[in-house]
Amino acid sequence: MRSLLTAAAISLAFTLFLTPVFLRLFRRWGWGQVIRTPEDIRNPNHQTKRGTPTMGGTIFIVGTIVGYLVGGFAGNNPPTISGLLVLWMMVGLGAVGFIDDYMKVRQQKFMGLSGWRKILGQVIVTVPFGIVALNFPNQYGQTPASPYVSFFRDVPVLSFMALGLVIGWVVYLAWVSFIGVAFSNSTNVTDGLDGLAAGSAIFVAGAYSLIAFWQFNQACWGSEALSAAAKAACYPTRDPFDLAIVSASFVGALVGFLWWNAPKAQVFMGDVGSMAIGGVLAAMAILTRTELLAVLVAGVFVIAPGSVILQRLYFKVTRGKRLFLMSPFHHHLEMRGWSEVTIVVRMWIIAGLLAVSGVGFFYVEWLSRT
């Protein structure tokens, strides 16, 4: 518990007190937000955001790493392969977002990496993650990830390796890549208003810290002496306590960052931040073996990309009509006259409700096995 609390506290203090130092550097380097012209026209309030320091995601990425390492040292919990895999996804996908942001700032254009190049970068990060996650078993034969699709835990009938070793690995890596790409892009699309993505991610990452900590409490290492009923309720997650630590550190870093990112934002996280958030959530879903449950836990990040998809489908089907005044959905609400603060706070409420619901269903499933 000492490691958990220390990790969260250190990362919180890092982003809360050191963000102004980073902002001075960002201004010196010319890292100012670029706003696309159509958005300026339809949303005049966004014009005032031009030039605000961006790429602030680098701040909570560094804060998370510092908090995680200090927390582990304080509680004598050295880093594990599972915790390092979460950091890999955070830093790797954050690096893809950083390249995208840097191209925008350097060229002073809204477009950075093209869509397919961005996806290629995301796949380059997620494939090594998937390979490592299915190797390096511990003394109990547990690997960080598993070759199954998971809901509350692995679903036995949904085994990738049932397709054969080669095809199984290909499908497994495609599945892991899909999760990584989907999460990083969905958080990227959601990051459209001050504090929206950061505040929402606090609830989701916090929920995953609780899930991992509960799995640690219900782990069954050396379970030979347990009854069959007790074994059925066990979680085979590898390194669940370390996953709880890295997630708690991430939450602390986001809370400190939100102090400066909440409306009216003094810094934007940029694609480096939103994709890093997606990387952490994807890794936590895979490593806690709750991939399908993540659709509910992180449901707030489904709303924005879902509205974009619906808008495009409706536009094609109706030959030019629009379902929303503007997509993603939070911009539709802006066009309806909602204030930015109202939209952000209500989306935080939705994020909290969905995350709590996910944790609740997770607990009920455990109760059904005891």
Each residue's pLDDT tens digit, 232-274: 778 889 999 999 999 999 999 999 999 999 988 899 999 999 9
Task: Report, as an integer, the average pLDDT of 82-91.
Answer: 97
Residue 38 has pLDDT above 70, yes or no: no
Whether the Cβ atoms of residue 311 and residue 261 lie closer than 8 Å to each other? no
Residues 309, 187, 181, CA angle at the centre, nearest 5°? 75
Region of poorest pLDDT, from 56-65, 169-178, 311-320:
311-320
Q: In this predicted structure, what is the pLDDT of residue 39?
A: 45
pLDDT tier at 128, thresholds 50, 70, 90: very high
HEC assignment per residue over the chain: CHHHHHHHHHHHHHHHHHHHHHHHHHHHHCCECCCCHHHHHHCHHHHHHCCCECCCHHHHHHHHHHHHHHHHHHCCCCCCHHHHHHHHHHHHHHHHHHHHHHHHHHHCCCCCCCHHHHHHHHHHHHHHHHHHHCCCCCCCCCCCCCCEEECCCEEEEEEHHHHCHHHHHHHHHHHHHHHHHHHHHHHHHHCCCCCHHHHHHHHHHHHHHHHHHHHHHCECCCHHHCCHHHHHCCECCCCHHHHHHHHHHHHHHHHHHHHHHCCCCCCCCHHHHHHHHHHHHHHHHHHCCCCCCHHHHCCHHHHHHHHHHHHHHHHHHCCCCCCCCCCCHHHHHHHCCCCHHHHHHHHHHHHHHHHHHHHHHHHHHHHHHC
What would the mean pLDDT of 55-68 be, rounded to a whole number? 96
Whether 224 has a pLDDT exceeding 80, the answer reads no
Is the confidence at residue 91, as pLDDT, over 60?
Answer: yes
